[in-house]
Structure 1
Amino acid sequence: MVGGARFDAPKFDSAVTARLARRATLRRSVALASDFRYEQTDPALFYGNLAVDTAALVDDVYVGATGRALDGAVILDVGGGPGYFADAFARVGARYLSVEPDPAEMHAADLQVHGSVRGSGTALPFRTSSVDVCMSSNVAEHVRDPWAMAEEMLRVTAPGGIVVLSYTLWWGPFGGHETGPWHFLGGERAARRYARTHGHEPKNRYGKSLFAVGASDGLRWATTTPNGELLSAFPRYHPRWAWWLVRVPVVRELLVSNVVLVLRAVR
């Protein structure tokens, strides 16, 4: 128990995830997992496929939570990088905005994304209650204080709007990113080994741009924040029949890989 709220048995079997549950098949899971090998060698392929799946996921949970599709909604992508997700959200009719702190990341793919702003996720340069949906995909593990970022996401979301926060778990198979699986022996040790092996520092440097974040950390925040109501928590890449894993402490840290938290903004 934390602050009187249970965070070890989150909800996920609800109307919020009903549409997504129908798509959360083993075929989808295998396809997404197979794309990970292209993350650094062919990022356009990797992020292009991920963008299509992410837009569908966000649309599914938004319909479940509000009864409305994303068509016409204003969506803010925190840590949007060069804007790989922009086209996918445009295709579902959303007005896509993004914020990214690193100018090199913003221009990494030579994409022209209108509405892309340079700024910090922990101090979002947007007005309070200015967007319908605020999302972040695989960013929280790169932020020193991810829950400050999460609170900012709730702040800029209009009351009744939805926050979708998805992040990679440290003790999962992809927690160390390119330094894995050696991160199981320690993040700093894994980073030094990568530098020795490859002759340069990893892109995701432990302690600087990569941090150890667990499922329980996010669930604790999501069930105790006064600014949001946790609607659902589920594994992002797992088939529906494996979603029960997110309910089991310790096991979820090792086997869930990436957790999705869906919250309704409240004031």
Structure 2
Amino acid sequence: MRLAWNGSTGGSSAVTKLFGRRATLRRSVSLLRDFGHEQSAPDIFYGALARDSVELIGDLFRGLTGEELQGRVVLDVGGGPGYFAEVFHDSGARYVPVEPDASEMHAAGLSVHGSVRGSGMALPFRDDSVDVCFSSNVAEHVREPWVMAEEMLRVTRPGGMMVLSYTLWWGPFGGHETRPWHYLGGEYAAKRYTRTHGHEPKNRFGESLFDIGAGDGLRWARNTPNGELLAAFPRYHPRWAWWIIRIPVLRELLASNLVLVFRAH
């Protein structure tokens, strides 16, 4: 049975069925509340994101394969300081984070066995070497995100799953800590943040934050020869609001975060 996404429902029902049941308004409100702590209490923010990520990946993998993550190799591209490690280990997965920035790897004082320092632009892994490759809120920090996405497909075994989830520039969180002023331009938002706080933002527009949109990802996803797009939906929205991905301008403003799900070739 072909499960390819057809653009009419926001995702293949077979792949997204389990996660769709979890994607309730209550979940959306809870995540929005926790996300308000990104700068002030990152443990709360990343803890919520970690729990949501393992549920997302676990549900999608079961939808694709009918199997659990137990014993599967899960590669997290842009794993940062390792906030996701515990929840993935608890799921039984063999979790491997890869992160290019040494200071970021140790930012939270965590020690993750098996973590790898390396660039998502040239992943230090063999072709077809992992069962699941995913990246959460990293692509918007990469100057050439589709090079990274192709690398993620390269290292995923044929029939395995690749999941790319990223923040949309024109959405409410697109400017990260400089929001909502990013609507007036990334450079303006960065300078205003510096004037207000006395230091530059962590995410500097044009250097470590870029204006990536939903349309950009969907165009790449439909044309890559290395994977089959199975689903595309707004990560933090309730299931009944996934239809916004079908509307070109609306999805840029309201989707906030786009999830692209692939079966690797």
TM-score (norm. length: structure 2): 0.96
Could you tell me how far 1:10 is from its partner in structure 2? 6.8
- The SS at the match of 1:122 is helix
Taking the aligned partners of 1:29 and 1:11, their CA distance within structure 2 comes to 17
Taking the aligned partners of 2:254 and 2:152, their CA distance within structure 1 comes to 27
| Equivalence map 1:154-169=2 (5 Å) | 154-169=153-168
> 2:184 — aligned with what?
185
- In the alignment, does 2:131 pair up with 1:132? yes
> 1:203 — aligned with what?
202
- In the alignment, does 2:92 pair up with 1:99? no
> 1:15 — aligned with what?
14
> 1:256 — aligned with what?
255
Quickly say closer, same or farther: Cα 1:74–1:117, change in 2 above 3 A: same
- Contact 2:9-2:242 within 8 A present in 1 as well: no
Identity %: 70
Taking the aligned partners of 2:7 and 2:196, their CA distance within structure 1 comes to 39
| RMSD, matched Cα | 1.4
> 1:218 — aligned with what?
217
> 1:194 — aligned with what?
193
Letter in 2 for 1:219: L
- Contact 1:7-1:223 within 8 A present in 2 as well: no
> 1:3 — aligned with what?
none
| Equivalence map 1:44-55=2 (5 Å) | 44-55=43-54
Runs of 5+ consecutive residues of structure 2 not aligned to the other structure? none
TM-score (norm. length: structure 1): 0.96
- The SS at the match of 2:71 is coil
Letter in 2 for 1:105: E
Taking the aligned partners of 2:75 and 2:144, their CA distance within structure 1 comes to 19
> 2:264 — aligned with what?
265
| Equivalence map 1:235-254=2 (5 Å) | 235-254=234-253
Deviations 1:213-265 (A, max 9, x none): 00010011111000000000011000011010111111000000001000010
- The SS at the match of 1:218 is helix
| Equivalence map 1:50-129=2 (5 Å) | 50-129=49-128
Taking the aligned partners of 1:81 and 1:7, their CA distance within structure 2 comes to 34
Could you tell me how far 1:41 is from its partner in structure 2? 1.1
Number of residue pairs matched by the alignment: 262
Deviations 1:109-155 (A, max 9, x none): 11110111111110001111110000000000000000000000000
| Equivalence map 1:139-150=2 (5 Å) | 139-150=138-149
Taking the aligned partners of 2:45 and 2:10, their CA distance within structure 1 comes to 30
Runs of 5+ consecutive residues of structure 1 not aligned to the other structure? 1-5
